[in-house]
């Protein structure tokens, strides 16, 4: 079964997405997600100019060989652009293989290990009353696990906090947080670590007081702390029993998590910006983390992320795949198939795509009972509407940047 065509589609139904469509000689079509938030066109060019020509004529069934060929054969390994491009090829080939087999993809990955993948949604508020409303709205939607982010007194805008509440937006519009803003240049935010560290424990105290001990709560520190600051945060949040505390320190310093681990029993998640199993080697082997965050889209596809999750399993570390709106419904569907199959699934992030996005991608996954199920159609379960996609051309959009009060650039 030879690959006949591979096409890169950039569409922007509310936000930008990069999709790879692979077509075999006998007309089987597979889709993969290659969206890299704020750097979309770099992956589109990498695919179009350097990967698509290598795919034509290859056997579509040779997924592992194609993965190794693109990974090792490129010489310039790893990195977000390369690994998002490989992810798209890998996902599209798994989609094709499952369609040819006449089975939903999770069946080829070993079959279901559970009924559904538990998901967490994003609640946020500029202050506690808005946050409380947002948590209630998520509970009404059926979420059983909720990420909590709030404004910090003295800071105008903070990562993870929606600028308008559900009541203000209404209808089918998304009201949770969308980090990339459509503009020619990135927005700049101001950050104050001391103000943040003082404020966050009081937020979780208020949330536990209002919602009780059962509700599953998570929090994302978004790479901004030093190890000792992260240790203090983890310790101060212990009374509120978090499911996880995410990305406390930047990705470049994995050893820093040793210090964090020595000081706190709050579970730690990391890895949404990691691309390969090797990025996790120290963290998993030394049991410095509890959840691996790589999604299929950014770490080499089903093949790459399966390697990470299988390695993590040896150390009782579980999956917690990234699922923001910048992972397209294709990437999310792939994560749900994989999550349903692996034994050491932990939780899946589910940030809800807009109605426009869902209309373009047509995913068959089902959200019910606090979890996602992939559906039973052969393949990934994606009905991509190319005519509709063409009506939404690319628009520049960037993630914000961050500066300390004295003007120093800080991790965002």
Residues in CB range of 315: below 8 A, 6 or more apart:
284, 285, 287
Our answer to whether residue 311 is catalytic in this structure is no
Our answer to whether residue 298 is catalytic in this structure is no
- Identify residues 259-288 at the interface with Mg ion (CB under 5 A): 272
Q: Is 179 one of the binding residues for ligand KDG (CB under 6 A)?
A: yes
**What are the residue ranges of helices labelled H in 21-60?**
40-45, 52-55
Q: Is 37 one of the binding residues for ligand KDG (CB under 6 A)?
A: yes
SS3 label, residue 342: coil
Q: Which of 46, 71, 120, 159 is catalytic?
A: 159
Site string for Mg ion, 41-80 (x = CB under 5 A): ----------------------------------------
Dihedral, 154, 160, 161, 163 alpha carbons, nearest 10: 110
Single out the residue of 40, 90, 178, 220 in contact with Mg ion (rule: CB under 5 A): 220
Cβ 147 to Mg ion shortest distance, Å: 9
Q: Label residue 19 left, alpha or beta by phi (over 0 means left) and psi (-120 to 50 means alpha).
A: beta
Site string for ligand KDG, 220-239 (x = CB under 6 A): x-x-----------------
Stretch that binds ligand KDG, among 71-79, 204-212, 319-327, 338-346 (CB under 6 A): 319-327
Cβ 221 to Mg ion shortest distance, Å: 9
Would you say 100 or 399 has its CB closer to ligand KDG?
A: 399
Q: Is 178 one of the binding residues for ligand KDG (CB under 6 A)?
A: no
Stretch that binds ligand KDG, among 7-15, 252-260, 322-330, 384-392 (CB under 6 A): 322-330
Contact 56, 4 (CB under 8 A): yes
Q: Is 90 one of the binding residues for Mg ion (CB under 5 A)?
A: no
Residue 98: CB atoms within 10 A of its CB come to: 23
Q: Is 116 one of the binding residues for ligand KDG (CB under 6 A)?
A: no
Single out the residue of 33, 130, 290, 326 in contact with ligand KDG (rule: CB under 6 A): 326
Rounded distance, CA 76 to CA 64, Å? 19
Q: Which of 138, 222, 337, 353 is catalytic?
A: 222
- Identify residues 269-308 at the interface with ligand KDG (CB under 6 A): 272
Dihedral, 176, 179, 185, 187 alpha carbons, nearest 10: 80
Residues in CB range of 140: below 8 A, 6 or more apart:
none
Rounded distance, CA 345 to CA 274, Å? 18
Cβ 159 to Mg ion shortest distance, Å: 9
Residues in CB range of 29: below 8 A, 6 or more apart:
21, 22, 23, 96, 99
Cβ 404 to Mg ion shortest distance, Å: 21
- DSSP assignment of 190-241 equals EE-HHHHHHHHHHHHHHHHHHH-SSSEEEEE-TT---HHHHHHHHHHHGGG-
Rounded distance, CA 398 to CA 412, Å? 12
Single out the residue of 263, 399, 403, 411 in contact with ligand KDG (rule: CB under 6 A): 399
Would you say 224 or 337 has its CB closer to ligand KDG?
A: 224
How are strands ordered across the β-sheet holding 17-24? Answer: 3-11, 17-24, 29-33
Chain residues in the site for ligand KDG (CB under 6 A): 37, 179, 220, 222, 272, 322, 324, 326, 349, 399
Q: Which amino acids are annotated catalytic?
A: 159, 222
Chain residues in the site for Mg ion (CB under 5 A): 220, 272
């Amino acid at each position: 079964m030879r690959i006949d065509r591979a096409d890169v589609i950039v569409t922007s139904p509310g936000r930008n997405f990069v999709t790879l469509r692979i077509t075999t000689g006998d007309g089987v079509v597979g889709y993969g997600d290659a969206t890299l938030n704020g750097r979309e066109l770099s992956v589109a060019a990498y695919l179009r100019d350097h990967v698509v020509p290598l795919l034509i004529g290859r056997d579509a069934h040779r997924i592992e060989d194609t993965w190794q060929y693109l990974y090792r054969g490129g010489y310039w390994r790893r990195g977000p652009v390369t690994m998002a491009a490989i992810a798209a090829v890998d996902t599209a080939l798994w989609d094709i293989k499952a369609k040819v087999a006449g089975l939903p993809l999770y069946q080829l990955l070993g079959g279901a290990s559970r009924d559904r993948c538990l998901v967490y949604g994003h609640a946020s508020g500029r202050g506690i009353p808005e946050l409380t409303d947002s948590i209630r709205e998520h509970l009404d939607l059926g979420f059983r696990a909720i990420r909590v982010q709030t404004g910090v007194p003295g800071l105008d805008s903070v990562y993870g906090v929606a600028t308008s509440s559900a009541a203000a937006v209404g209808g089918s519009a998304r009201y949770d947080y969308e980090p990339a803003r459509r503009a020619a240049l990135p927005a700049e935010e101001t950050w104050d670590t001391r103000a943040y560290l003082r404020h966050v424990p009081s937020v979780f105290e208020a949330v536990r007081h209002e919602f009780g001990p059962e509700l599953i709560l998570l929090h994302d520190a978004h790479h901004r702390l030093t190890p000792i600051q992260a240790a203090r945060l983890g310790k101060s949040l212990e009374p509120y029993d978090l499911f996880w505390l995410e990305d406390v320190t930047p990705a470049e310093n994995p050893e820093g998590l040793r210090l964090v681990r020595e000081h706190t029993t709050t579970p730690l998640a990391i890895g949404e910006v990691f691309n390969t199993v090797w990025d996790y080697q120290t963290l998993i082997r030394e049991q410095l983390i509890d959840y691996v965050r790589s999604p299929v889209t950014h770490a080499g596809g089903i093949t790459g992320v399966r390697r990470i999750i299988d390695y993590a399993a040896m150390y009782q570390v579980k999956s917690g795949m990234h699922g923001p709106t910048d992972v397209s419904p294709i990437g999310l569907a792939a994560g749900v198939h994989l999550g349903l199959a692996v034994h050491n699934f932990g939780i899946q992030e589910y940030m809800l795509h807009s109605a426009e996005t869902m209309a373009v991608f047509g995913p068959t996954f089902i959200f019910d009972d606090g979890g996602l199920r992939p559906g039973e159609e052969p393949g990934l379960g994606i009905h991509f509407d190319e005519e509709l996609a063409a009506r939404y051309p690319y628009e520049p959009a960037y993630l914000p940047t961050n500066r300390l009060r004295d003007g120093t650039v800080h991790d965002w």
